[in-house]
Structure 1
Amino acid sequence: MNFKEEIKNYQPINEQEVQDQKVILQLIEQFPDILTRDNAVAHMTSSGFIVNPTFDKVLMIHHNIMKKWAWTGGHADGESDLLAVALKEAKEETGVKEIQPLSQQIASLDILSVSSHMKNNKYVNTHLHLSIAYLLICDENQSLKVCENENSGVAWIDMHKINPEHFSQHDVYLYQKLINKIQKYKKETEESLWK
């Protein structure tokens, strides 16, 4: 399945995702270079929300540009397999070697605005990230390594700390959608063990 079909087949969970899915599909049609950073308006990105096997911690990075703790992820840079992008970015940004998708399916989609900034001594204009996120899982005993050109920290964060006391309201919203899906997955998995 190609990335456009994958996005089209995603079942939005709320009005925000309904609208963002519609706009993302329109932008894919409008811009043939949407998978690259050549497009000045929007870039396809893929993120990984990485959980441990007990589903109570999230592996996050302290992002150099955003100056905050965040999920892993990055630009598609021409790659149409967005799950592969999420896995590659997760490994590069955290140093973990073994990581798996919890599901092959998209877990959330969002349009995220990116303010203008400097990167590698070059000006990057304000643009949109068409963010496709996946749920990933890995053993929390693996060694972690900072990717200095991307982040200044890598850490397992207790899931209950993803709240307005520690994260912005927008990030809490973004991550809570994924936490809800993880909790649903955990409940369904536990119930199937008792059948």
Structure 2
Amino acid sequence: MNREQLLRTLKSYRTPFEEEKSFVEEFIALCEDPLAFSRERKEGHFTASAWIVNKRRTHALLTHHRKLNRWLQLGGHADGNDNLMEVAMTEAREESGLISLKLVDSFIFDIDKHLIPANSRDAEHFHYDVRFLIEAAMDEPLTISDESNDLAWVNYDIIPDVVKSNDSILRMLEKTSKSEFVL
């Protein structure tokens, strides 16, 4: 999914979630920026994430992010790669050590715009996160990356307690918990 395909997909993207609907036009506009997939765009840039679930849709793989000190889905910066599906799969492999990753669908699963706090290297900025639904086997060994404090398969029932008020994760959880969203 290159820049042009991403733009076409975003233009036809439909969601029943109001917050997600509010991001679509900004994502479309960002596609036009030559630096959209680069950290050089200081005010914000595209990232890609993997919502990794088991085949039975009872658990999601979450990482305890070292810098943000929160449980999140796996993902990262595009670093110039405009194929966000490829970025999501690469980040999922690098951050989990999983080999059995299977892209459930080539369509965008979720989008989210969120603020990243300033740190020693970067000023406060936005991540325009494009997410893909990925399946993996829970019995495969996990490898914790340098970017994480921990990595765990979390039962759907306790994800709300683990992620607290992270609405975007709760939205992805809802999408994989309800039959109308399950592919």
Structure-1 residue corresponding to 2:27:
24
Q: Aligned pair 1:183/2:177, yes or no?
A: yes
Structure-2 residue corresponding to 1:158:
155
Q: CA deviation at 1:75?
A: 0.8
Contact 1:56–1:159 under 8 Å retained in 2: yes
Structure 1 segments, 4+ long, off by >6 Å, are 186-189
- DSSP 3-state at the match of 2:100: coil
Q: CA deviation at 1:167?
A: 2.0
C-alpha change, 1:187 and 1:108, in structure 2 (3 Å) is closer
Contact 2:48–2:75 under 8 Å retained in 1: yes
Structure 1 length-normalised TM? 0.86
Provide, for residues 106-125 of structure 1, a one-character-per-residue CA deviation record: whole Å limited to 9, x for no partner: 1111111111013xxxx211
- 1:1-195 maps to which residues of 2 (within 5 A)? 2-29=5-32, 31-118=33-120, 123-148=121-146, 150-163=147-160, 165-169=161-165, 171=166, 173-185=167-179
C-alpha change, 1:186 and 1:102, in structure 2 (3 Å) is farther
* Worse overlay, 32-41 or 6-15: 6-15
CA distance in 2, matches of 1:182, 1:95: 23
Structure number with bigger Rg: 1
Gaps of 5+ in 1: 190-195
Q: CA deviation at 1:181?
A: 2.1
Structure 2 length-normalised TM? 0.91
Provide, for residues 26-77 of structure 1, a one-character-per-residue CA deviation record: whole Å limited to 9, x for no partner: 2332x21111111111110011110011110111111111112110001111
Root-mean-square deviation (CA, aligned residues, Å) is 1.8
CA distance in 2, matches of 1:126, 1:162: 27
CA distance in 1, matches of 2:182, 2:107: 16
